Amino acid sequence: MDSKKYAVVYFPPQEKTLPPITNVAGVSLIERALLTGQRSGISFFYLGGEKAEARSHIEKLLQRHPCLQGHWAWLSPESPIYKERPSLLCYPYDSLFSVDVLNEFSDPENLNKVASQKEEAFFLAHLSWDKFSSAWEKGDLVEMVFSLPSSPQGGFFTKVDSPVKKAEQKLLQSLQSPLEGTVDVYFNRPLGRLMTIPFARWRFHPNLISLFSIAIGLMTAFLFLWGNYYQRIVGAFLLQASAMIDCIDGDVARLLFKESRLGYWLDVAGDNVVHIAVFTCLAIHEYQTHPGWLPVTFGILLVGATILSFGLVMYTQIKLKPAAEKVHLGKSISSLSNFIEKMTSRDFTVLIIFLALIDKLEWFLIVAAIGSQIFWILLSFMIFSIKKQIRSSQTK
C-alpha cells in the first residue's frame, strides 16, 4: 500500500480571492498552504488552476524557501499523479488550516467527504483519484466538493479575505497554550501579541527575539546587584518585560515555520540563565546590605534548586518521556508535563514587582527558596513513580 500522501492545492479564480503571494504573518498564502501540508506529512503537492503567465513569480517564491522540502509541480495531464492515481487531499491556497486538521482528514474513513465545522462545510476534501479527476476535467471541482457528505473536524480553520489582519489574528489566537500561567494568559501574552504580528511580518528571526529577552533579563540581575531602591524597581519591571518578550519568540517561530532545536534550547536554557543570574545577584545584594548567614543560605538553596529542577525537567523531556511513550504511559507523562508547566510559570515576576515596590525583595528569597525545594522533591517522586511503572511494564 502506498504510504505517500498527496495533495492538490487549488487556485480559485483571481477575481474571487486574494493573490497567492499575499503576505499573511510573514509568509505568503501559497507558501503557508504547502508548509502546513508538509507538517502533516504530505510529500507531493500539485498546484492547479493558476494561469500560466502568473506562475513564474510563484515558482521563484517556492524555490527559494529554505523549509519547503516536499515535491511540488503544476498539475497537468503529463503529471505522474495521472499514472499513480492515488487518493489525495484537496484544499485552496487561500485558507489556513492547523496541521491536526489535515492529519485527521487524511484518515481513510474521510475518503470522498468534505470537512465541516459547526455544521458548515469548508473547502477541504479527501478524494479518490476517480472522483477528483472527473470533476477536474469537467471544471466543476468546487461544486463537487461541496456536494460531498460532510465530516465534522476540530482544529483551526479560516478562509483568508481582505483585510488579512482578521485572518492573522485568528491564526495567532490558534497558538494559545492551555498550560500557561495566569500572568502569561492575562498580561504577558496579550501585550506581547501586539508585537508578534509586526515581528512576523518583518520576519524577525525568533532566536534574535530570545536573545533580546535574555539580555533584558540579565539587565535585571545587574540592577538587583548594584542598583538603589528606584533602580531595583526598574529591574523588576524589566524582568516582567523579559517574560513578556519571551512569550513572543515561540509564536513568531510557529508563524514563520522556523521552529528549531536551537530555538528550543535557547528558550529553555535562556530562561534558566536569567533566573539563576537574578537569584544570585539578589542574594549577593541582600548579603551586602544585611551581612549574615540567612541571605547566603537562602540564595544557595534557591540557586541550587533551580539548577537541580532544570536538570530533572530536561531528564523528563529527553529520556523519561520517550521511554514512557514506548510502553503506552502517555497519560502519566502528560500529568507530569502538566505539573511541570504549571509549577514553572512566570507568575512570580508579579511578586517581585510588588516586593520591589515595598523594598522587601529579601522576602522573595525566603519564599522562593522554600517553594523550589518542594517543587524538585515532588518532581523527583513523580519521576520515580513513572520509572517504576516503566520497569513494571517492561517485565510483563
Q: Which fold has domain 6-169?
A: Spore Coat Polysaccharide Biosynthesis Protein SpsA; Chain A (3.90.550)
Domain ranges of the chain: 6-169, 178-395
pLDDT string in tens for the chain (396-residue length): 457 899 999 998 776 789 999 999 999 999 999 999 999 999 999 999 766 667 888 999 999 888 888 899 999 999 999 999 999 999 999 999 999 999 989 999 999 999 998 778 889 999 999 999 999 999 999 999 999 999 998 889 999 988 899 999 999 988 866 556 778 888 888 888 899 999 999 999 999 999 999 999 999 999 999 999 999 999 999 999 999 999 899 999 999 999 998 998 898 899 999 999 999 999 999 999 989 899 999 999 999 999 999 999 999 989 999 999 888 888 888 899 889 888 888 889 999 999 999 999 999 999 999 999 999 999 999 999 999 999 988 876
Please name the residue that has the C-alpha cell 483568508.
Answer: 160
Please tell me if the domain spanning 6-169 has the same topology as the one spanning 178-395. Answer: no
* pLDDT tens digit sequence for 7-59: 999 998 776 789 999 999 999 999 999 999 999 999 999 999 766 667 888 99
pTM of the model: 0.88
CA atoms within a 13 Å half-sphere pointing along the CA-CB vector of 193 = 19
Cα distance between the two ends of the chain: 33
Closest CA to 242 of 116, 353, 381: 353
Q: Which fold has domain 178-395?
A: Four Helix Bundle (Hemerythrin (Met), subunit A) (1.20.120)
Q: Copy the grid coordinates of residue 268.
A: 529553555
Rounded (5°) CA angle 342-388-301: 45
Omega within 30 of 0 (cis) for the link into 178:
no
* pLDDT at res. 1: 42
Q: Copy the grid coordinates of residue 392.
A: 513494571
Rounded (5°) CA angle 319-175-326: 25
What one-letter code names the amino acid at 303? V
* CA separation for the pair 111, 270 (Å, rounded): 46
Q: Count the Cβ atoms, other than its own, within 10 Å of residue 114.
A: 23
